[in-house]
Structure 1
Amino acid sequence: MQNLKITDMLNYKFLYSLSSSEDSETACFISSEMNVAENTYKKQLWQYDAKTRALKCVKDLGSSNQYYWYDNNSVLISKLDESKQISGVFRINLDTGIIEDEFIVPLSVKNIQKLDEERFIITALYDHCEEDDFSENFVDAGMKRARRNEDYYVFDEIPFWHDDRGIINKKRRGLSLFNRKTGENKLISKPLSDVSAVGIRREKVLYQAKTYTEKIEVTSGLYVYDIVSDTTEVIVAEGTYNISNALFMEDDIVFFGTDMKSYGIRQNDCIYIYRVDTHKVELLKDMDVSLKTAITCDCRYKTNNTVKVHKGKVYFTITTGYETELLSIDRNGYLERHMEKSDAIDDYAFINSGILYVGMRDMRLQELYLKEAHDNYKISEFNESTIQNKKIVSPEIFTYKSNAYEIDGFVIKPVEFDAHKQYPGILMIHGGPNTTYGKVFYHDMQCLVNEGYCVFFTNPHGSAGRGNAFGDLRGRYGHVDYEDLMNFTDEVLKRYPWIDSSNLGVIGGSYGGFMTNWIIGHTDRFKCAISEKGISNWIGKFATTDIGITTNVDQQASDPWTDQPKMWAHSPMKYADRVKTPTLFIHSDQDYRCWYLEGLEMFTALMYHNVESKIYLFKGESHAINRSGKPRNRIKRLEVILEWFKNHLKGE
């Protein structure tokens, strides 16, 4: 057996976008793997044949990151020409991999759904900074858009950027009816509406949209566009629900959302139904669980939509504790479980013999599985050879009591563990905070235990999987969650006396970075710390990030004017003069979720007070550097993490 190394992740294959054809005879998905030579990702389209259970690679996708079903034997992909701001749409035959057809859309395409041979419903990016004349030659119009703001940006609304979309000022994802034969592209959503979930039933188009000028709102609305009559019906007006998903259930409409009345923006979704016969919205089910796969992991390239409709039922994943399940609900609110608790269900599709799904099971990386009746079959071997001869350690799981709750804790021992030795320990803190750690494979953790560290982690207050009351941190950041983490650390040291209590490190990203910044200002028990994409000053974050004016205001239960002292009291910067812990900061210059100003503030404060500190600012990376960042940067990130811990916990 060999030790797992940082560079082993170059061989990992990440699976996503799993979906089946209309006849359920075949399914497709995308695999992605790092190409360090070109510093990018190699993406391939794969097909699964339900009859033969055979897998085959259909085609390399290049820069394309999504596909769209055209018919049972072919799919569409789109490729953006950035210089002209137009998208080429290509039809790929699944049997041959040959491109059979193509057409041009005068926009940056985000989603395509086929109506018939000529008409398509397209979600695309519209730039409303200036009036676009789509009656002129669309190549000229696209080049005109591409030339805008080459030397400067103009912001006249908030937020002006978004972490996974870049600069979004006056840019909206619009919905249009496109005719490939005539080239006509008719916008059917409002000009300043930002469209997300889209569904088609017969000649009707359901879509979710958020319309705003100057300042974004949290709520969104649901609309149905009738293609025949060219009219739009408002199903749910904007202003009531924070909606995460919507789809047709036969003629009715089911949507997942929250009214935010009891627990704010991060209140768990309820399931609602709009009944076409009564024209009323009804609460279909309030489950008080996370209606998604909330298991966080650094071995996914892309998250998936796990809400789907099949044979008159809506299917969805839930997270309970640190595991996921697959459920369905019908129009009467009847729930059915289709997959019991699993380590992680990342995506799924329906085929004739059962449910095909991408899962992380038994400390494996992502693979394709088939659920038939009561049996699960592993279909793929994408990652088996990569880790089968590596030293992988499974976590030990226990519960501890903190703040009146029994909370799950995890400990991963170092490889080749010797109970007679003392080992340095590292507390890892997840982001969110409304995500959760599970018993899945984490590359960062396995690298650390292969370097001789004990890694321990938990799901404190604020985490997903335990209901609204447990997940509600509004106005309490750095208090009940901090107590949980310290109680957990105490319990770990009591249960595992071979961990050297004088040789502990702490690391966290995003919310975990906030908690790391908070911890070093409130205790000196950790010998060193690493804060990734963390938060240091809620007042500054309010005005510089994509969720500052919405989520952060809600979660801090204040803003800079109504209760500035409260925001400052919950900011790690207030306590930075107390810090004695050597700290490494890691940020990215295009992380608009936790803008790198946050890291610079803490770094400067520590250096000002003569505390050893260093900051790495990665160029061209977003908040997701540890999941989908450029391969070389992902390697460098882990190298500096291991180096920092090595220098401070091993004295090497």
Structure 2
Amino acid sequence: DYRILYELPFWSNGRGDVSGLRTHLYYYGKGEIKPLSDNVFESVSSLELSPNKKTLVFAKREYYGKAPQGNQLISLNTETFERKEWSLFEKASYGGVQFLNDNEVVLTINRSLERNKNENAGFYRLNLQSGNVTQIYDGSIYGLGNSIGSDIKSGGSSKITFDKEGIRYVSTVVDQAPLIHVNYKDAHISFLTQGNVSIQEYLPYKDGFIAVAMVEQQANEIYFIDKKGKLSLLSSINTQLFEEHKVVKPIKITFTNEEGRELSGYVLPPADYQKGEKYPAILDVHGGPKTVYGTVFFHEMQYWANQGYAVLFTNPTGSDGRGSVFADLRGKFGAIDYNDIMAFVDAALKQVDFIDESRVGVTGGSYGGFMTNWIIGHTNRFKAAASQRGIASWVSFSNTSDIGHTFTFSNIGTDVWKDNQLLWDQ
């Protein structure tokens, strides 16, 4: 059997075949379901209802053949079902919609999709009556969401809440994910949590917040965050598990890259480390590339450490947590990022004395798989490599993967028809 595929993407990870499929908006009431659009090419997301239940705001994409990177912002009267399209900016992507009141919303807008898909979205305030839109904060340093990697992580909050003075959200900051506050008047940033923390989800509660978070080398637990930013543990879901197993704490490594920027990474020593002994090591490269490794618990790394390996990990140029400029790796894959990683390995070998330099391997998934492929094609310093779900060819990746048709152009700056050689060079 066969199918004729006529759209990009024609499949989606975790969903399967999506060619010709759309997510539509329906009204359900009094035992009947009514479609709110007869446009079969429209796909809806980011749905939010006003406090008085009279207005829906959502984002939609309308396409045939090739899905665009951006979307359109729509408001809908729930009594008349009349729509209004908000053309605030050309070729933008709208998300994170939250109602401030019945007539105003706060939302995120990425205005540079074709130029740089990895640029942090800005935060805006839109009056649905007057049409007035104002920028709260450009998001250039503190973007929305938690991109810290962990294989036991759940959530990655994109929730925006607010008080009288401004908005609150979780942001990835270097290698942490605190809750922050942005003032409406001057975009002043203040941190609402203390210490090494990765907030997964949160809700305002009394004079503070209830949050699901990972703190230090603990798994997800529920915490209360007071008005001073102090976290108090409310649950003990994983306490017994962590008491029964040896958990290794990371050692911080600092180094300076070729651009003179001070960066950092970490080494997990072997769980049964003995002073004076040398151990094999695994360099683990994260995916994204716009994500980060943090100081939180990562089961796979802890497993390796308990098997007698040292584990090395860092956040090279292109990672999240240091703003849009740092995350901009367009046309530079395998250049400054590779050099950063090699500089980190050099620094780690100098700053800790238990790694056997002759027995270092490398691995990584997604972008980390790409970088593993790149590394073994450019140096012989690693004695073993495991490339996981990575990009081995930008050419085949472009039109056969679920994200390739947009990811390739926005990250490399070209496609197979415009500059095939550049894709091979990358």
TM-score interval, smaller chain: over 0.9
Q: Secondary structure at the match of 1:159?
A: coil
CA deviations over 1:90-130 (Å, ceiling 9, x no partner): xxxxxxxxxxxxxxxxxxxxxxxxxxxxxxxxxxxxxxxxx
Match of 1:511 among 344, 349, 367: 367
**71, 85, 96: which one aligns with 1:234:** 85
Identify the match of residue 167 of structure 1 among 3, 11, 17: 17
Larger C-alpha radius of gyration, 1 or 2? Answer: 1
- Normalised to the residue count of structure 1, the TM-score between the two structures is 0.61
Q: Alpha-carbon deviations, 1:266-294, whole Å to 9, x = none?
A: 11111122233531333221131232111
TM-superposed deviation, 1:464: 0.3
CA distance in 2, matches of 1:493, 1:429: 17
Residue of structure 2 equivalent to 1:270: 122
**Is 1:177–1:188's contact at 8 Å kept on the other side of the alignment?**
no
What is the aligned partner in structure 1 of residue 210 from structure 2? 356
Which residue of structure 1 aligns with residue 178 of structure 2? 325
- Corresponding letter in the other structure for 2:137: K
Give the conservation status (yes or no) of the 8 Å contact 1:273–1:331.
no
Determine whether 1:187 maps to 2:36.
yes
What is the one-letter code of the residue matched to 1:264?
N
Which residue of 1 is the match for residue 306 of structure 2?
450
Question: May I ask how many residue pairs the two structures share in their alignment?
Answer: 418
2:264 match: 408
Amino acid corresponding to residue 172 of structure 2 in structure 1:
T
CA contact 1:223–1:236 (8 Å) conserved in 2: no
1:170 is aligned with what amino acid?
A: G
Query: Deviation digits for residues 183-231 of structure 1, max 9, x if unmatched?
Result: 2323248432221111111211010111111111111111110012220
Whether 1:223 aligns to 2:223 is no
Distance 1:192 1:262 in 2: 22
Q: Distance in 1 between matches of 2:55 and 2:170?
A: 27
Match of 2:408, SS state, is helix
Partner of 1:100: none
| Cα displacement (A) at 1:247 | 2.2
1:449-488 correspondence to structure 2 within 5 Å: 449-488=305-344
Q: What are the residue-to-residue correspondences of 1:88-107 with 2, within 5 Å?
A: none
Identity value in percent: 30
Equivalent pair of 1:306/1:346 in contact (CA under 8 Å): no
**Match for residue 255 of structure 1?**
107
1:338 partner amino acid: L
What are structure 1's unaligned runs of at least 5 residues? 1-150, 571-652
Kindly tell me: are residues 467 and 310 of structure 1, through their superposed partners in 2, closer, same or farther at Cα, counting changes over 3 Å? closer
| Structure 1 segment 235-634 matched on structure 2, within 5 A | 235-236=86-87, 239-250=90-101, 251-260=103-112, 264-289=116-141, 290-300=143-153, 302-310=154-162, 314-329=167-182, 332=185, 334-335=187-188, 336-340=190-194, 342-352=196-206, 354-374=208-228, 375-403=230-258, 404-570=260-426
- 8 Å CA contact 2:278, 2:355 repeated in 1: yes
Secondary structure of the residue that 1:565 maps to in structure 2? helix
The alpha-carbon distance between structure 1 residues 330 and 492, as it changes in their structure 2 partners (threshold 3 A), is closer
**In the aligned structure 1, how far is the partner of 2:89 from the partner of 2:65?**
16
**1:303-349 CA distances to partner (integer Å, 9 max, x unpaired)?**
34432335565431111111122124465465554324542001111
- Cα deviation for residue 449 of structure 1 reads 0.7
Q: SS of 1:455's equivalent? A: strand
Deviations 1:405-439 (A, max 9, x none): 11111011111211211111111100000000000
- Note the 1:103-118 alignment, pairs <5 A: none
- Retained in 2: the 8 A contact 1:370–1:379? yes
Residues 55-66 of structure 1: matches in 2 within 5 Å? none
Structure 2 unpaired stretches of 5+:
none
Q: Which moved more, 1:234-243 or 1:263-272?
A: 234-243
2-side partners of 1:387 and 1:537: how far apart?
Answer: 41
- Match for 1:322: what amino acid? D
Question: What is the root-mean-square deviation in Å for CA atoms of aligned residues?
Answer: 2.0
Cα distance, 1:353 vs structure 2:
5.1
Structure 1 counterpart SS, 2:23: strand
2:72 touches 2:92 (CA, 8 Å); kept in 1?
A: yes
8 Å contact kept, 2:96–2:160: no
Q: 1:380 to 1:444 in 2, by over 3 A?
A: same
Are the counterparts in 2 of residues 248 and 309 from structure 1 also a CA contact under 8 Å? no
2:28 is aligned with 1:178: yes
Within the candidate set 43, 46, 54, 1:197 is matched to 46
Equivalent residues of 2:93, 2:113 under 8 A apart? no
Cα distance in structure 1, aligned partners of 2:168 and 2:215: 21
